[in-house]
């Protein structure tokens, strides 16, 4: 492991300490968004208690591959590129760019090694049609301010000699990179605790009760470890965001999808940059532990919590075939294990962020491609909660009540 936890982090007996009776802000969910929000709110001097039903960083925040996705990817595309689609994609690129700026300085901000590296990212094309998509997306990205290059032929082969020589072309984005997903959330939590935030694990919120005006608090949470009342509540429940909001009669335009991931044995390190495919489901990277992580959106089987989503053999065989096609050396590397994470997405691909107008005091923080955007989105929400008068910080289309 090239990065490790901060000294003292793993000694977390405090997480099992008693629950406070009251708090200004209660955050439900100890994933990346919840922990980052706890940090940024604590920095503003706001009293925070974070409640996590199992342990920190155990779901999507800790089971994703830790990649920064700044290029426009396959899952964002529609079949035909209309003008309004171009506008949407351009907005999304700008959002990703803001996130890139945050990641640039996050290790300094948290004074910790988070395994952040900007090692570039490839987007490969197999057919001439796919190559055209690479060029179209490049023009949107460059206009929005994101540097990407399209390479073909010998130029491509000498730049990335390990990729299959017969690819029709590749896009390269130098800003892309990765962090260690096992470290980011826990480090935010650790720094938040230093600033006074209370983090409680093994604490499941069973019921959200809105309180009437006579009470000095707005919500009472019944948890597996007792009751806690709060002024403001943040739902950072990741895949379970909609389930929690339903208790207050709020619906979200979101869906869940199980994503299949493969991990291989270690292999001598050579693949610095992440590899994606513009026409097929593939993300591929070599980790600092020298293993390869191969994913890209192949499905897995839905199961009820706390059982984890289970895997389809076809997803492994299909996903691996795309990976071997693009990076032929992989055929001699062994598959060790597969796993599956739950990906929460919104139907319009925009974050759900901010305070509800229907239920004042109730906030939601949920974002697809949560690892890349999570820290930035959390910081934005913290800024809003610090000065709620400043409503414009959060774009209207992210509305919680939409």
Partner 1 sequence: MQEFDLVVIGGGPAGIAAATAASNHNLNVLLIDERSTLGGQIYKRVGPGFEVKDSIKLGADYLRGEILIKSLSKSNAEIMLETTVLSVEDSQVIVVTADNKYDSIKYKKLLITPGAYDRPVVFPGWTLPGVITAGAAQSLVKTQRVLPGSRIFFAGSGPLALAFPAQLSKMGANIVGIIEAAPRPGFVKIFRIARSLRGNLDLIRDAFFYQFHLVKSRIRIQYGRIIVSANGTDRLESITYARVDKNWRPISGTEKTVPADTLCIGYGFFPSVELFKILNCEMSYDESRGGTVVQLDEWGSTSLPNVFGAGDGTGVSGSYVAILNGQIAALRIAYELDKISEKTLFNLSKSIRKEVNLRKKFQKAINHAYAVKSGIYQLASSETIICRCESIPLKDLLPIIESTSDFSVVKAYSRCGMGLCQGRNCQRQVSALIAAKHGLDLGKIPGTTPRFPAKPVLLGQIADSSIRDEKYFIDEQ
Q: Give the interface with partner 1 as residue ranges (CB under 8 A).
A: 1, 5, 10-13, 15-16, 54-55, 57-58, 62, 74-79, 182, 264-265, 280-281, 289, 297-298, 308, 310-314, 316-318, 320-325, 330-339, 349
Cα 20 to the chain's mean position, in Å? 29
Cβ atoms of residues 347 and 255 within 8 Å: yes
Name every residue whose Cβ is closer than 8 Å to that of residue 276 and which is 6 or more positions away in sequence.
Answer: 69, 71, 73, 74, 121, 122, 123, 124, 282, 283, 284, 296
CB 228 to partner 1: min, Å: 21
Of 335 and 393, nearer to partner 1 (C-beta) is: 335
Of 265 and 357, nearer to partner 1 (C-beta) is: 265
CB 133 to partner 1: min, Å: 11
Of 44 and 270, nearer to partner 1 (C-beta) is: 270
Residue 81 exposed, middle or buried by CB count within 10 Å (0-12, 13-18, 19+)? middle
CB 164 to partner 1: min, Å: 13
CB 383 to partner 1: min, Å: 29
Q: How would you label 344-375 residue by residue, b for 16+ Cβ within 10 Å and e otherwise?
A: bbbeeebbbbbbbeebebbbbbbbbbbbbbbb
CB 150 to partner 1: min, Å: 21
CB 345 to partner 1: min, Å: 8
What count of other Cβ atoms lies within 10 Å of the Cβ of residue 394? 19
Residue 5: both structure tokens together: 């936890």
The strand ranges marked E within 38-80 are 48-51, 67-68
The three-point CA angle 295-301-303 to 5° equals 125
What count of other Cβ atoms lies within 10 Å of the Cβ of residue 210? 17
Of 177 and 279, nearer to partner 1 (C-beta) is: 279
Of 96 and 356, nearer to partner 1 (C-beta) is: 96
Of 265 and 397, nearer to partner 1 (C-beta) is: 265
């Amino acid at each position: 492991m090239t990065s490790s936890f901060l000294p003292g982090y793993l000694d977390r007996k405090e997480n099992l300490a008693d629950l406070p009776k009251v708090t200004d802000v209660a955050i439900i969910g100890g994933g990346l968004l919840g922990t980052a929000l706890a940090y940024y709110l604590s920095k503003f001097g706001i009293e925070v208690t974070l409640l996590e039903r199992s342990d920190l960083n155990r779901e999507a925040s800790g089971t994703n591959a830790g990649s920064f996705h700044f290029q426009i990817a396959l899952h964002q595309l529609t079949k035909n590129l209309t003008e309004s689609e171009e506008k949407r994609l351009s907005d999304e690129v700008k959002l990703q760019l803001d996130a890139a700026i945050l990641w640039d300085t996050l290790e300094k901000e948290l004074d910790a090694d988070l395994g952040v590296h900007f090692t570039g990212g490839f987007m490969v094309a197999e057919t001439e049609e796919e190559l055209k998509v690479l060029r179209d997306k490049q023009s949107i990205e460059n206009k929005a301010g994101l540097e990407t290059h399209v390479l073909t032929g010998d130029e491509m082969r000498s730049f990335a000699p390990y990729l299959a020589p017969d690819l029709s072309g590749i896009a390269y984005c130098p800003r892309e990179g990765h962090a260690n997903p096992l470290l980011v959330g826990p480090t935010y939590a650790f720094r938040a605790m230093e600033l006074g935030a209370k983090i409680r694990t093994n604490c499941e919120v069973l019921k959200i009760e809105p309180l009437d005006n006579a009470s000095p608090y707005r919500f009472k949470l019944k948890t597996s470890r007792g009751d806690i009342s709060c002024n403001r509540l943040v739902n950072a429940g990741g895949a379970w965001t909609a389930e929690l909001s339903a208790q207050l009669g709020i619906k979200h335009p979101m869906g869940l999808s199980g994503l299949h991931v493969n991990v291989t044995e270690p292999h001598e390190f050579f693949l610095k940059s992440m590899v994606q495919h513009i026409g097929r489901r593939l993300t591929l990277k070599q980790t600092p532990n020298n293993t390869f992580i191969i994913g890209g959106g192949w499905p897995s089987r839905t199961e009820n919590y706390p059982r984890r989503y289970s895997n389809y053999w076809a997803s492994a065989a299909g996903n691996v075939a795309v990976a071997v096609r693009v990076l032929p050396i992989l055929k001699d590397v062994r598959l060790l294990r597969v796993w599956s994470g739950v990906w929460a997405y919104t139907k319009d691909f925009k974050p759900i962020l901010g305070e509800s107008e229907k239920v004042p005091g109730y906030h939601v923080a949920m974002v697809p491609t949560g690892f890349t955007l999570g820290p930035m989105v959390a910081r934005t929400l913290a800024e809003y909660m610090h000065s709620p008068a400043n409503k414009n910080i959060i774009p209207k289309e992210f509305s919680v009540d939409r």
